[in-house]
């Protein structure tokens, strides 16, 4: 039987940033086509500009999401989601850039929900450009949740050594404790468990980091760990899921690096991002947990300061596409096994 090769939709992000560059340069690597059929979602005009800027020899082909594609490094496949209006200057915040970025995401999500593509990998957005275009989302995760009608999502960072799932992301620190409810903690532990199962861990070991220093020192520095976290963790552990905590934030990542935990549920953005970026550098991939579709992303921004210069690092984009392909293959295999 022929191996399943997934179709991966790659949204190009803000056209003033490095998204198109890192996508086009990644697709020059023939090894990508052994993993998936990559399809860019964005403006053909922007892709053509980037190909010219880079001196690439690839040709450009515009298709519909449902068209048959195979692809190779000599031909870049694009689904047109915007036109020449997206040709904004490199490095500039603009309404047109925000509009183009969101339109590419909406089109890719529609295709994924229709089964026309098997996963999405996203290039970075610029939140200010998005807001200038009238889209008031904190980031991809919130936009994807709305587009898929999903209320329970979590940003996951998946690396080779460290993996985290976030209870909150783009929130002011003073609001974090109020946003971490019993229901939210249960949701994210479930999302982390399912994500690790999909990633190949048969019995995931989940750790939950505390919110306060030293987990509050029995209430001296805060009591969220005692009153909220510990009862939830104990009740879930009683169902047979290997979840433990809360564990002091200054210790839990050392334990994870020692292979005591497969994933850490973290309270807020920097609690998870700092250790993962420090250890994994460009190899950690952003995964949206809890969605009905597979979505991976680079774990960096639009880099307006180097856009158009052809010097952006493509390591993270390649890792994100590879992760999307791996997850899509895993989901397809699980579906076949279930129907057998």
Rounded to an integer, the average pLDDT of 148-175 is 91
Question: pTM score, two decimals?
Answer: 0.86
Q: Are 164 and 272 within one domain?
A: yes
Q: 141 pLDDT exceeds 90? A: no
Q: Does the bond joining 285 to the residue before it have cis omega, within 30 degrees of 0?
A: no
Q: Are 110 and 225 within one domain?
A: no
Q: 183, 141, 159, 163: which is closest to 266 by C-alpha?
A: 163
Q: Are 66 and 204 within one domain?
A: no
Residue 124: give the domain boundaries: 1-150+291-340
pLDDT digits (tens, 9 = 90+) for 40-89: 999 999 999 999 988 888 888 888 888 888 767 788 999 999 999 999 99
Q: Are 278 and 327 within one domain?
A: no
Q: In sequence order, what are the beta bridge partners of 62?
A: 78
Residue 23 corresponds to which tokens in the numbers above? Answer: 């996508």
- The total of other beta-carbon atoms located within 10 Å of residue 217's CB is 12
Q: Are 179 and 241 within one domain?
A: yes
Q: Are 229 and 138 within one domain?
A: no
- Number of domains composing the chain: 2
| CATH number, domain containing residue 47 | 3.40.718.10
Q: In b/e form, how buried is each residue of 247-282, taking b as 16+ CB within 10 angstroms?
A: bbbeebbeebeeeebbbbbbbbbebbbebbbebbeb
Q: Are 277 and 296 within one domain?
A: no
Q: Are 189 and 264 within one domain?
A: yes
Q: Are 181 and 322 within one domain?
A: no
pLDDT digits (tens, 9 = 90+) for 22-43: 999 999 988 999 999 999 999 9
Q: In sequence order, what are the beta bridge partners of 166?
A: 266
Query: Quick one: pLDDT at residue 340?
Result: 65
Query: Quick one: pLDDT at residue 105?
Result: 95
Q: Are 143 and 222 within one domain?
A: no
Q: Are 260 and 284 within one domain?
A: yes
What average pLDDT is seen over the chain? 91
User: Is-contact 255 247, C-beta < 8 A?
Assistant: yes
């Amino acid at each position: 039987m022929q191996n399943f090769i997934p179709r991966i939709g790659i949204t190009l992000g803000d056209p003033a940033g490095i998204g198109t560059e890192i996508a086009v340069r990644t697709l020059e690597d023939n090894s990508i086509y052994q993993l998936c059929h990559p399809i860019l979602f964005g403006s053909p005009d922007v892709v053509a500009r980037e190909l010219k800027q880079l001196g690439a020899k690839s040709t450009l082909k515009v298709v519909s999401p449902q068209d048959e594609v195979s692809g190779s490094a000599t031909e870049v496949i694009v689904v047109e989601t915007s036109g020449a209006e997206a040709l904004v200057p490199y490095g500039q915040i603009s309404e047109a850039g925000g509009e183009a970025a969101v339109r590419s995401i909406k089109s890719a999500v529609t295709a994924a929900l229709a089964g026309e593509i098997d996963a999405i990998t996203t290039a970075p957005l610029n939140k200010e450009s998005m807001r200038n275009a009238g889209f008031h989302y904190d980031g991809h995760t919130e936009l994807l949740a709305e587009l898929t009608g999903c209320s329970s999502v979590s940003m996951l960072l998946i690396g080779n050594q460290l993996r985290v799932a976030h209870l909150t992301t783009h929130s002011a620190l003073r609001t974090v404790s109020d946003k971490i409810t019993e229901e939210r903690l249960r949701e994210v532990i479930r999302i982390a468990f399912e994500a690790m199962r999909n990633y190949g861990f048969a019995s995931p070991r989940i750790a939950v980091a505390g919110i306060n220093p030293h987990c509050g020192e029995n209430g001296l520095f805060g009591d969220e760990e005692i009153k909220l976290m510990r009862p939830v963790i104990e009740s879930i552990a009683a169902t047979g899921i290997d979840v433990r905590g809360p564990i002091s934030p200054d210790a839990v990542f050392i334990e994870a690096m020692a292979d005591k935990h497969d994933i850490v549920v973290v309270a807020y953005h920097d609690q998870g991002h700092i250790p993962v970026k420090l250890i994994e550098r460009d190899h950690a991939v952003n995964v949206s947990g809890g969605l009905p579709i597979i979505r991976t992303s680079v774990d960096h921004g639009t880099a307006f300061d180097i856009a158009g210069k052809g010097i952006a690092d493509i390591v993270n984009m390649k890792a994100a596409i590879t992760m999307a392909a791996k997850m899509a293959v895993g989901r397809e295999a699980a579906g076949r096994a279930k129907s057998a």
